[in-house]
């Protein structure tokens, strides 16, 4: 039986840092494909930028929130 451990179970075991890099990385690929297809299909990045990308301002704000 496959029983993936939950965050709560890890916390009970004393784990206080969980890195979900695998899932975060894997979730980016579908959007990268959509972005690439949009750029190639429209011969420019404007539509892809509007539909799939965070603004630089939002990225900077996010960085400051994390730090």
Contacts of 51 (CB under 8 A, 6+ apart): 34, 38
pLDDT surpasses 80 at 3: no
Q: How confident is the model at residue 1 (pLDDT cuts 50, 70, 90)?
A: low
Instruction: Share the mean pLDDT of the chain.
Output: 90
Residues in the chain: 67
- Show me where the domains of the chain are located: 21-66
Residue 17: pLDDT over 90:
no
For residue 9, what pLDDT is reported? 93
At 41, the pLDDT band (50, 70, 90 cuts) reads very high
pLDDT at 35 over 70: yes
Answer yes or no: are the C-beta atoms of 15 and 9 closer than 8 Å.
Answer: no
């Amino acid at each position: 039986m496959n029983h993936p451990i939950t965050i709560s179970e890890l916390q009970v075991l004393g784990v206080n840092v969980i890195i979900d890099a695998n899932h975060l990385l894997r979730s980016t690929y579908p959007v990268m494909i959509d972005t690439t297809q949009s750029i190639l299909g429209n011969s420019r990045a404007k539509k892809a930028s509007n539909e799939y990308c965070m603004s630089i301002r939002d990225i900077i704000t996010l960085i400051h929130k994390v730090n």
